[in-house]
Structures are given as structure tokens and as C-alpha cells.
Structure 1
């Protein structure tokens, strides 16, 4: 075992046979979220470019598009082998990004492009992240997930820092449209990580290493599994899952109100699309940093002392404080 592998085993409870798959999973999530967080400030600026008064309608359109996309997504992932589906879906979105780059670069139907891009990002996020965690759930056994998913999620947190950093540094230098090229590149790198991860999983299957990533969880020529109807019925039958769904819905509603206020404040600060993109990227960077700090410093202590319920209630409490602060001081730093 190398010094790097020895260090990794001290950080996370990983077994020697799991190291390759763990690192590729980390890299996969890192580049995936880095791509998304490069696109996100562009999306937020597009919301202003498409007209702030249209934001409620854009959110409504997003809701109905997502409503239509979820069953389509469920049907596809349940039927198409994951070795084909995962690269295919990311290649598809990379091509979409390039199409938007052409439209923005040559200023084609800018207002309509901005509105479509705003809605499209939500669909991209749904598919990209859902595919990732479905893959992880199929690839790793439950016991492995308890040991390894925290480290894998840290890859996403790191990507959520890199993406805004790229946007902050380059939005005004190269323009918001060219950020899309960077996002497409990061997405393609994520596809390479998927392929390497599939290779690692195949090697585990051939070796039959029980301590490694489980090949029996789902063969690489199987679909990711699960349908939207099965998922819906599971939520309806479980008060626990229904409560979580309601909690997420209410938090999303509160977050939407905050988003409208943020958009109005940023729109008042500048008329330059590239500068507004950089401002939104700085906000994302600050939020990502604060999230990591809270996760490491506060959340764990609350869960250990009070349990998961009070920890979940902590976030709405923070939202309430944020609304109060924004009402008293309607400024960007709030």
C-alpha cells in the first residue's frame, strides 16, 4: 500500500479493494458539480436577462417541465443499461450546452434563450445528480455506503467550490457565454470518470472480492432501476418519507422567495451581464464555504446532542433568521 493509500485509509474507512472505485467516485462527483456550479451563476444572470418580472413564470415553467421530466427519467433509467445511459445522458447535456453557447455567442433570440436556459438548468440538475446517486446506490452495498458516501459527497462539495471559483475568475475576463465551454469540458471529464469507475467495478466482479465494491448490487449492463411510480408509492406509504418530502417542498418554497429578493438586489447593482454573473458566482462560493463550515462544525454536534429531527429543524430556523435580516437590511451581503 502506497503512502497516499495509507493516508486515505486514515481519513475514511475504506478497504484496499475499494480504493480505486472510491477515488473515481469522488472525481466523478467533483467534476459533475464543478460543471453545474459553473453554469449556475450563468443561469441566475439569465433569470435577470429574461426579465425579473418573468421569474415567477420561469419557476412555474420549471415546475411543469420537471413534472414531465421525472416520469420520462424514471422510465429511461429503468430500461437502458447504465453503461450506455450514463455517458449518453451527459453527452446529451454537453451538446445542449454547446448549442446554448452558439445562441449566446451570436446573440440569437437572447431573451428567449435566457428563459429556456433558466428552465433547462433545472432539468440538467435533476438528471445529472439523480443519475449519480442512483449509480452510487447500485454500485455500493448498504454497509459500504455508510462508510464511503461521506467521502464521495465531499467530492461534490469540493466541486461546488471549484465551479464558482472558475466563474468568479473568468466571468468578466472571457464573458458568461464562454463559461459554458468550460462547463461542457468538465462534464466530459466526469464521463471519463464514469467509464473508469465502470472498469473498476468490472474488475471487482472478476476478482470476486467480497470486501470490494459489490458487483452483485447491479451488473453494468443493467438499468439503474426504480420507476417514478414505485418511488411515489413508497413516499405515500411511508409517513417518514412523506414528511421528508414535505420538508423539502417547504424549504424549496422559502428558497424561492429568497431567490426573488436576491435577483432584484443583483439587478440593481449592475447592468453588465458578465459582472452580474461574477456576483452570482461569488454568492455561490460564499454559500458553499458556509455550507462546508456548518457541516463540519455545527451539524454533527447538533445531531450527536439532539438527534436528526432537531438538526433538520435547524435549517428552517436559519431561513427564518435570514428573512428577518433581509427585511431589516435588504442588502446583498445578507
Structure 2
């Protein structure tokens, strides 16, 4: 590529010289991971509806219990293994799980309990694997770098989220569900290789000498250190509350999605097509925002804007749904919520972890992203189900959702302020991002 064209492309994407390879690795890690996940997501949604919309809260509760069971196992591994070994163990375990599910589905594709187990497993896998991938980025990049390139690399997730449903739609007929699981296992293995390459890059170019020496050592502590770290830190507790409110808003909309789609589209094939279409719209909007907008917003206006904008829009969306609960309104609100979460909220949330310790990046972050998130799912799922039983007041759940979204925005505002304060303290690492663009070392 000509030097002038490469320089223009770097400026367009807000990437500094010397960062091209590592940013490409981050893009690949997320693209492969999300392609596999989103290829299987419509299958999970159909399996969830097969048990009845009125039983979704039980699947959410089972997912929370499974997440609780997985937490100490992950904490034990994180305490005893290096970062590279931890990644290999967790991702390798999930690859074996996919192979086992492929075998079970191939033998008995209509087994209800296999479908329910897969629903719960994919919900746990989704949070744990994505949380671990973001932990790698928070460990590899400084806070200043994160503001520029986190959203760009998250664009790989949106591209995977766009490619996955298309692959699933095209390949489900010739490969079957079992074949899709085998392909997802290969994609997950590729994502692992990219993540390991990111860690090796940082080992060659450490942020400081102390981090270079500690990177190959286990994080230490006990299997429950992530939970205790959250309870001891007001900053991490704030992130946990932010995640609970995010999960609550998402769950309210998810249940509304199930109700509206089931009532408007009774055929399973049509349901799968609707879910796939929504995924395609979400990822198309998210990837454009991530590539060209999010990084510049974070760099110029700060993390706070990323954390606050979407909750405010969702609060307005809940009010619209309360006043006009039709599929067209729901589709717009759902697309805005999910695209905004991928393009703004998630990168902003992950930037918060660049100013905490290594143990908190992996253990506390994993606890928040899995147990706290799924706990919020389960509680809000039962709350939404209870509100739905009040048939005389169908809009009540939407107004409560609007209130939760406003509280979510307020917590995001406070977290953004706290992140700015920590960034200048001794907790944050000195940024390697202050060199001029002409410096080839990045």
C-alpha cells in the first residue's frame, strides 16, 4: 500500500503508526468470536420460543445458576494460570463443548432438553468469552489508546455479528444445526489464536517493566477474589450497578421482543428470519458507528458521552412503546438499543477497566460481566413476567423500564467522572499514545 494512502487510512480510522498489526489482531479476535456466536444465536432464540414465551424467565434463572457455578471454576483457573494459559483453557473448553453439542444434536435434533441446555450454555458462553476477550484488550492497551481504538476493534464484533446470521441462513440447510456448531468451533479456535497473538505483542512491547515481569505469572488470589474486589471498590460497584441496569433494560425489551414476535409471526421459519433481519440491521448500523464515530467521540468528548447517550434514548423508546406497542416501534427501539450498546456503551464500559489492576481486569470484570449481568437478567425477567400478569396495565412495564433507563444514564455519568479522575492517578498506566504520528514505534 502506498505510504500516502496508508497515512490517510490511519487518519480516517484514528490509528497511529505501528498499531496497524495489533489493531488488526483485535479486529480478527472479535470478528471470529462474534461470527460464530451470531451464527448460532437465531437457533438459540427459536429453541427459547419452543418452550413458550411464558417460560422464558425459567431459562433466564437457569442461566444465572449456571453462571454462578462457572464463576469459582473460572476464578480458580485465573488464580493459577498465566494469561495465555487461562485463555487457552477457557476457549479450548468451549470448543470441546461445541463439538459435544454438535454430536448430541446430530443424533437427536428434536430433543427438548438438549435445546434447553444449549440455550443456557450459549448464554453463559456468550458473556464469559466476550468478557475474556475484552479483558485481553484492557490488559494490552493503555487508557489513552483505548479511547481511540477500542471501538474500532469492536467493529470486528459488529462485522462478525453481521456475517454470522448471513452464514447461518445460507449454511443451515446444507450443514444442519450440527454443522453450524462445528464451524463455530473452528471460528472460536481462530479467535483464540488472535487473542494469544495480542498478548505476545504486549510482552514484546510492555507498558512498563513491572507489567512485563508479571505477565507470565498467575494472577494469584482465591477463586472468589473477583466478587470480593467488587464489594470493596466503589468504582467497581458503580460498574456493577451500571451493568445491572443495562441488563434490566435489555431484558424488558427482550421479553417484549418475544411477545411481539410470537404474536405477529407464529411460524418458526419466519421467526428465525425476523431475528436474523434485526441482527443484520443492528450490526450494519453499529459497524459504521464503531469505525468512524465512536473513537472520535471518546477522544474529544470523553467516555461519559458513550455511557449516557444510549440510556437516554432507550428511556424515550420505552415511553414510545408504552404509548404505541406495535412491531414497527419495537423494531426501531430494539435496533437503536442494541446498535447503541455495541457501538457506544460496550466500548465505553470496557474503557473503564483500563484504569484498574490486572487482577480486577480479569477476575472482577468477569464477575461483573457474568454473574452480575445474568443476575440482573434473572431478577428483571421475573419482574417483567409479574408485570405482564397485570393485564389491565400493559404499559406499566414500559414506564418502569423508562425509569430504570434514566437511572442507568445517571450511573453512567458518575462512572465517566470517576474514570477521568482515576486516569490521572497512580492506578492508571502511563499512556504510550502521546508520540507524534511520524514516530514509527507507535
The answer for unaligned runs of 5 or more in structure 2 is 333-442
Q: CA deviation at 1:224?
A: 5.9
Instruction: Quickly say closer, same or farther: Cα 1:270–1:182, change in 2 above 3 A.
Output: farther
For normalisation by structure 2, the TM-score amounts to 0.63
For normalisation by structure 1, the TM-score amounts to 0.80
Contact 2:150 2:295 in 1 (8 A): no
1:7-26 superposed matches below 5 A: 9-10=10-11, 11-16=13-18, 18-26=19-27
Q: Which moved more, 1:119-128 or 1:142-151?
A: 142-151
2:252 to 253, 257, 263: 257
Contact 1:58 1:119 in 2 (8 A): yes
Q: CA deviation at 1:230?
A: 4.3
Alignment match, 1:321: 316
Alignment match, 1:282: 277
Alignment match, 1:331: 327
Alignment match, 2:347: none
1:1-334 superposed matches below 5 A: 3=3, 6=7, 9-10=10-11, 11-16=13-18, 18-107=19-108, 110-171=111-172, 174-201=175-202, 204=204, 217-218=211-212, 221-223=216-218, 229-268=224-263, 269-272=265-268, 274-292=269-287, 312-327=307-322, 328-331=324-327, 333-334=331-332
Instruction: Quickly say closer, same or farther: Cα 1:331–1:175, change in 2 above 3 A.
Output: farther
- Could you say what secondary structure the match of 1:75 adopts? helix
Distance 1:38 1:314 in 2: 29
The root-mean-square deviation of aligned C-alpha atoms, in Å, is 3.4
- Could you say what secondary structure the match of 1:222 adopts? coil
**TM-superposition CA deviations, 1:9-31 (whole Å, max 9, x none):** 33333342x43333222211221
Distance 2:295 2:146 in 1: 20
Aligned residue-pair number: 324
Q: CA deviation at 1:175?
A: 4.2
Distance 1:69 1:256 in 2: 22
Distance 1:132 1:145 in 2: 14
The answer for unaligned runs of 5 or more in structure 1 is none
Q: CA deviation at 1:89?
A: 1.8
Alignment match, 2:410: none
Q: Which moved more, 1:276-285 or 1:315-324?
A: 315-324
Distance 1:128 1:157 in 2: 16
**TM-superposition CA deviations, 1:10-63 (whole Å, max 9, x none):** 3333342x4333322221122112222212222111111233232111101111
Distance 1:178 1:235 in 2: 40
**TM-superposition CA deviations, 1:80-117 (whole Å, max 9, x none):** 12332312322221221122222223325621111111
**TM-superposition CA deviations, 1:242-298 (whole Å, max 9, x none):** 3332232122122212212212333341433x5433322221222223334566569
